[in-house]
Structure 1
Amino acid sequence: MMRPVQEICFFVSCGVFLLHGCGRHPLEVDISDIEETVHVERFDRELFEMKMDTADHAIGYFYERYGDFFDIFNTHIIHIGPGSGKRYPSFLSMFINDPANREVYEYTGRVFSDMEEINRCLTNGFRHYLYHYPDSTLPRVVGYVSRFNQGLFTVGHFIGVGLDQYLGSDCHYYDLMGIPRYLSKNKIPEKIPVDVLYAWATQIYPYNDSVDNLLTRIIHQGMLHHFVDAMFPQLEDSLKMGFTGEQLTWCRKNEAQMWTHLVEKKLLFSTDPLVIRKLLEDAPYTYYFTGESPGRAAVWLGRQIVREFVRRNPDLPLGVLMSRRDYQEILRESRYDP
């Protein structure tokens, strides 16, 4: 039995999260002449409302309209195999008509009955993208429901968004699945625009360094977060980083101590995958710091390094910065000294 949907309050414009302070944000640019728009295409509705007596026609339509997205959705997200398989229509029918899947789809549909504000924020972010990359083609953002299999993926010029991964931090499904609070707190509709632009950044600027140590990783992560900053210069850091206000305050107060610890413990140049994961991946707290620290606190340090580098190189185009792979040189040029 499905629980009633709690009242969802997502009537917040991008402007609600404006940073407070004096002066103009250094990444703020004039996008008033850019008219392109972006919206979440509701593939979830098209799929679950499909009539199976027209399945062959619909499958052809999905391939024509969604191309590589539809292929990846079938093979890697819901794992029913390629649409060319003989048994594919029956597998798809089972997925669509599974009672649990339909329950999640219907719940998701109520949470996202109106995506106007999300689309407005996406448009705002991608207009900033076109400002910095005027010759670029905008990707298509496609919403789907996979019964919590996958939150985001990119393929070609598609960004897939698992809407059922953004149902609200107090969604009962997340409790039933045992998802810890440090993860569920970011499963909110407001995170979709930020996560979409971050995912796009990871596609166009994948990590690439033969050294592969903690330092190169945190600076690359810092660059990706700086990219998101440039797309949403007026959004609160808490939303962009996925930290609470208290966690951000902790990071600011303990910035020097965190950096000193990494240096003194000789962790910066560690190539140990376990060390890197403990410092960069989501967790209740960052293993090498205190229990009050947020998980991924080292990523915040990487963002600070990149911010300091940009402060010293204010005229460097975003695309030039993002294309750099000499991560240790970025640290040197930043003169980072918290």
Structure 2
Amino acid sequence: MIRIVSILLLSIIAFSACQSDKQKGDTLFDKDIKVVRYDRLQYEASALNSFSALQKMNLEYPQATRLLIEDVLMIGNVSEPDINERLCAYYSDTILLQLMADAESKFKDMEPIEQGLTEAFKTLKKEIPSFPIPVVYSQVSALNQSVVVGDSLLGFSIDKYLGEDYPLYERYYYSYQRRTMNPDRILPDCLTSYLYSLYPFPWLTEYRTLFDVIMYRGKIHWVVSRLLKKSKSYESFLGYTKEEILWCRKNKKILWDWMVNQGHLWSKDPMIIRAYTHPDPSMVFKGEKIPPLIGVWMGMELTDLYMQQHPNLTIEELLSRIDFRDIRNVKF
């Protein structure tokens, strides 16, 4: 009898642990998104040497802990006997401890992020009834990945969004990288990363040209810009300066015609694709530097035109579509 009760209790604990960071999407549809403060458990386990916090990380949030150890930090396998000691030792570095303290101070209130995610996911759920709403949590990734996505799980690293003028960033990042490390980038980064995971790029098909890539990324960003009610400001959504906004609006027709004439749109060359989609503003056109992610911006413009031409196309159909070649002869 005692053995049966013990087994039953263990089953309940295991079930509860699995459910803590993995829930069915439908269960969150009528509720507001609440960010799980996994980062606070990390801080308590490392800075305060709290065994109970470490235990809670493993028992209540096993999937988030596995992602952190195996995919973000890459310090080993979660099943290794000494992995907890390695994890705590990793975060015991004085620089990381200060980073964690600064992140905790910066993000005391998650309400703006929770409200933004709630509105966006409820809109997506109305558009796509089967859309899985993830459990959302915040973490400290030790300046590794900004956003991680698991099975119905979405995590963002608060230590990557302390503001582009945060002193430590200047030691490890270029200026073009720091401009995306502001708190207002959390919502768009989370939503785009999650949609990328649900609607992955079809690399194993014939649709692998620059045109296909910019349309794929453009449609994802176009949807997110509308979820965040920034449909008329693609440039600000991508973090462009006023000068870069003016450049895009002034030169889009000239640039598009040049891309067509050079044969870039139908190229599968990784270097050409990277030049148009990488955040490093190093590409030069007619003696002037092109704004970073110009291909993504162009894809958003094309997606907007495409949706105007197909007014009955739903968001679900847009996200699922991979062939946009009926718009490739567009004239700006």
Please indicate the TM-score interval, normalised by the length of the shorter structure: 0.7 to 0.9
Amino acid of the residue matched to residue 331 of structure 2? D
Q: CA deviation at 1:58?
A: 4.8
Amino acid of the residue matched to residue 105 of structure 1? M
The equivalences for 1:112-123 within 5 A come to: 112-123=107-118
Q: Residue deviations 1:82-141, cap 9 Å, x none?
A: 232111121022123222211110011111122222222222222222221233331122
The equivalences for 1:1-338 within 5 A come to: 35-50=30-45, 55=51, 58-59=53-54, 61-177=56-172, 179-209=173-203, 210-211=205-206, 212-234=208-230, 236-288=233-285, 290-329=287-326, 331-332=327-328, 336-338=330-332
In the superposition, the TM-score normalised over structure 2's length comes to: 0.84
Secondary structure at 2:45 match in 1 = coil
- The change in CA–CA distance for 1:182 and 1:290 in structure 2 (over 3 A counts) is farther
**Structure 1 consecutive aligned stretches of length 4 or more whose deviation exceeds 4 Å:** 51-54, 57-60, 287-290
Higher percent of residues as helix? 2
Amino acid of the residue matched to residue 124 of structure 1? E
Amino acid of the residue matched to residue 219 of structure 2? M
Q: CA deviation at 1:322?
A: 0.9
In the aligned structure 2, how far is the partner of 1:288 from the partner of 1:127? 41
Moved more, 89-98 or 313-322: 89-98
Q: CA deviation at 1:290?
A: 4.9
Secondary structure at 2:65 match in 1 = helix
Structure label with greater radius of gyration = 2
Q: Is the 8 A contact 1:36 1:127 kept in 2?
A: no
Q: Residue deviations 1:293-321, cap 9 Å, x none?
A: 21111221111111101011122110011
- Aligned residues, how many? 300
Secondary structure at 1:129 match in 2 = helix
In the aligned structure 1, how far is the partner of 2:38 from the partner of 2:228? 26
In the aligned structure 2, how far is the partner of 1:289 from the partner of 1:131? 45
Q: Is the 8 A contact 1:40 1:142 kept in 2?
A: yes
Q: Residue deviations 1:244-294, cap 9 Å, x none?
A: 232122111111011011011111111111111111111124345653421
Any unmatched runs of 5+ in structure 2?
1-28
In the aligned structure 2, how far is the partner of 1:252 from the partner of 1:147? 38
Higher relative contact order (CA 8 A, sep 6+): 1
Any unmatched runs of 5+ in structure 1?
1-33
In the aligned structure 2, how far is the partner of 1:76 from the partner of 1:137? 22
In the aligned structure 2, how far is the partner of 1:239 from the partner of 1:64? 41
In the aligned structure 2, how far is the partner of 1:63 from the partner of 1:311? 49
Q: Is the 8 A contact 1:279 1:297 kept in 2?
A: yes
Secondary structure at 1:337 match in 2 = coil
Q: What's the counterpart of residue 20 of structure 1?
A: none
